[in-house]
Amino acid sequence: MIFQLSSRTRIAAVLILLFTVSSAQTSVPTLLGNVWAMAVLDATTNAPYVREYSGFITLNTATDKYELANVTCGNWYGPGDDPEMKISARPKDIPPNPSPLDKPIYYVAWFHTHAPLYRADFHEDGDGRFVGPSQEDFDASNHPSMKLPGFVVDYVGEPTPTGTSVILVGHPIDAPIMIYPITPPERRPLP
Ligand SMILES: [Zn+2]
């Protein structure tokens, strides 16, 4: 199945994970930063249109490395359009039913970028947008076909008195970003 997620609604409180996730996983933030760079390039070279990237994080037990997989992007959207990203259901591990002698690739998380929006006419209230995971993002993580932690790549933003963070119209497109975790209440079944 394909989730159609809107970026218009943002939840009030988000847990924030700094860009360096941990010393043991430095490659994942670097890889997600590369995907963000593609989204920035898209926005810069196709203004006023943007698109959001998504995909999965796998653990390759043959190499002991985390990798990105199934990376795709949503449709282009512009002023007045609904923001869109696409994520499929959690793919089967490779192989799907590993034996103790296999060195499987496990799907351990999903991710998506939010669009590098910086134009006033993209914003629902005219002066900015919330940053971080939306309620739809949390729902997608906990969907029966997903049940995986997720990561959202988005701007750090500026804190507001209500505890949220926002980007305001005119913020630089290369403003600092963060990786925001999404922890679902239930995880995928163990292999
Ligand atoms: Zn999102």
Q: Do the beta carbons of residue 156 and residue 176 sit within 8 Å? A: yes
DSSP string, the chain: -EEEE-SS---S----B-S---GGGTHHHHHHHHHHHHHHHHHHHSTT-B--EEEEEEEETTTTEEEEEEEEE---B-TTSPP-EEEEPPPPPBSSS--TT---EEEEEEEEEPP----GGGSTTSSEEE-S--HHHHHHHTSTTT---EEEEEE--EE-TTS-EEEETT--TT--EEEEEE--SSPPPP-
Kindly give the distance from the C-alpha atom of residue 95 to the centroid of ligand 1, in angstroms, as a whole number: 29
123-136 pLDDT, tens digit per residue, is 555 567 889 998 89
At residue 40, φ and ψ (nearest 5 deg) are -65, -40
Q: Round to whole Å and give the CA distance between 17 and 42.
A: 25
Give pLDDT, residue 107: 96
96-126 pLDDT, tens digit per residue, is 999 999 999 999 999 999 988 755 445 555 5
176-187 pLDDT, tens digit per residue, is 999 999 987 778
Kindly give the distance from the C-alpha atom of residue 113 to the centroid of ligand 1, in angstroms, as a whole number: 7
13-30 pLDDT, tens digit per residue, is 222 333 333 334 458 999
Q: Round to whole Å and give the CA distance between 110 and 90.
A: 8
pTM over 0.75? The answer is yes
Kindly give the distance from the C-alpha atom of residue 62 to the centroid of ligand 1, in angstroms, as a whole number: 31
131-150 pLDDT, tens digit per residue, is 999 889 999 999 999 999 99
What are the residues whose beta carbons fall under 8 Å from the beta carbon of 187, sequence distance 6 or more?
Answer: 147, 148, 149
Kindly give the distance from the C-alpha atom of residue 152 to the centroid of ligand 1, in angstroms, as a whole number: 6
Grade residue 57 by pLDDT with cuts at 50, 70 and 90.
very high
Q: Round to whole Å and give the CA distance between 191 and 181.
A: 23
At residue 69, φ and ψ (nearest 5 deg) are -140, 160
Kindly give the distance from the C-alpha atom of residue 12 to the centroid of ligand 1, in angstroms, as a whole number: 14
Kindly give the distance from the C-alpha atom of residue 100 to the centroid of ligand 1, in angstroms, as a whole number: 36
Q: Where along the chain do its domains lie?
A: 2-182
Question: CB within 5 A of ion ligand 1: which residues?
Answer: 134, 137
Q: Over pLDDT 90: what percentage of the chain? A: 52
Q: Round to whole Å and give the CA distance between 53 and 32.
A: 10
